[in-house]
Amino acid sequence: MEGRMRARRVHRHRSRFLLSIAAVGALVASSAGLAVRAAPAAAAAATVVTIQFDDGTAGQAGALQILRDHGMVATFYINSGFVDTPDHLTTADLNALFAAGNEIAGHTIDHANLAPLTVPEARREVCADRNALLAKGFPVTSFAYPFGSFDAGTEQVVRDCGYNSGRGVSGISKNGPFAETIPPLDPYATRTPPNPKKATKLTTMQGYVLDAEAHGGGWVQFVFHELCDRQCGAYAITHANFSALLDFIQGEVTAVRVEVRTTAQVIGGPVNPPVTP
């Protein structure tokens, strides 16, 4: 009896989800000529790792082959105002990433610090950014706060603009908490380990995954900014170190200790329609 009731509940939930996706899919596909794909909710797993890139810098295009080589996908948080400008990803780059199964997500139009802005200013940065990415055919559901700057009002703007989640840049540490919960305590303020820098050791990054495994599991979000070998900014990781990190994660996946998922796959939920700024 309990099994039949659970099955009926799952069927009703799935039906409502598919109807909402179909409606938005028609809207976005008609504007951009591309099919919209909904992200499934995450299956239960002890430890889930999400690989993320912020800002859409041009070098991040190099992550595509490394991800493919490891059978993994990532979430790319994009400033729509910088697409197709020097030193940033092009629309063609985004299409290639998306076609390979990677998630395209929002990060404001021009990397604005949202917390000091008025509500109308913040809505323009968040809603218009998402609308621009939707118009390119990407089913955008995840958001990252530039500089990790947000408050309760900013969270509400992100929610009102149609996002299912918002990500900060801190909150997980070697002293605990060791991972974000699944589902998150606050989906509009998800927590991460410190963003890796040039000097961050591979063992340090591996340690965040191992610590999560040792303390009951959860969600570990790695946030990178540059994939770069020379003349790089402070928040950069070399191609070799990125590949080595994925080698390690791949070993944990093979041992059935870790799953790799995009942000949308962890959070789940519908692709909401565009929202007027």
Domain membership flag for residue 272: no
Task: Give the lowest-confidence range in 28-37, 39-48, 145-154, 160-169.
Answer: 28-37
The structure tokens 């408050």 sit at: 151
Domain membership flag for residue 198: yes
Phi-psi region of 76 (alpha: psi -120 to 50; beta: other; left: phi over 0): beta
The CA distance from 39 to 30, in Å, is 20
CATH of the domain at 76: 3.20.20.370
pTM score, two decimals? 0.84
Q: Mean pLDDT for the chain?
A: 88
The CA distance from 21 to 150, in Å, is 29
What's the pLDDT score for residue 18? Answer: 35
Is 91 found in the same domain as 202? yes
Is 204 found in the same domain as 146? yes
Determine how β-strand 218-224 pairs with β-strand 47-54. Answer: parallel
Is 205 found in the same domain as 77? yes
Is 110 found in the same domain as 26? no
Is 215 found in the same domain as 144? yes
Is 113 found in the same domain as 69? yes
The CA distance from 209 to 64, in Å, is 22
Share of the chain above pLDDT 90, in %: 83
Is 106 found in the same domain as 51? yes
Is 171 found in the same domain as 53? yes
Alpha helices in the chain (DSSP H): 2-32, 63-69, 91-99, 119-135, 152-160, 202-214, 239-254, 263-267
Domain membership flag for residue 277: no
Give Cβ neighbours of residue 104 (< 8 Å, ≥ 6 apart). 76, 78, 94, 97, 98, 133, 138, 140
Residues 40-95 pLDDT 10s: 444 445 899 999 999 999 999 999 999 999 999 999 999 999 999 999 999 999 99
**One-letter amino acid of 161:** C
Is 117 found in the same domain as 5? no
* DSSP notation for 28-84: HHHHHSS---PPPPPPP-SEEEEEEEETTBGGGGGHHHHHHHTT---EEEE-GGGTT
Q: Residue 39's pLDDT band (boundaries 50, 70, 90)?
A: very low
Is 109 found in the same domain as 82? yes
Is 138 found in the same domain as 254? yes
What's the pLDDT score for residue 254? Answer: 94
The CA distance from 90 to 61, in Å, is 9
Q: Are 141 and 267 in contact (CB under 8 A)?
A: yes
Report whether pLDDT(4) > 70: no
Is 167 found in the same domain as 68? yes
Q: Looking at the 3D structure of the chain, how many domains does it have?
A: 2
Nearest CA-CA partner of 106 in 157, 45, 170: 157
Domain membership flag for residue 38: no
Domain membership flag for residue 153: yes
Domain membership flag for residue 276: no
The CA distance from 214 to 46, in Å, is 10
Q: Residue 10's pLDDT band (boundaries 50, 70, 90)?
A: very low
What's the pLDDT score for residue 138? Answer: 98
Domain membership flag for residue 273: no
Residues of the domain holding 210: 45-267
Q: What is the DSSP letter of 271?
A: -
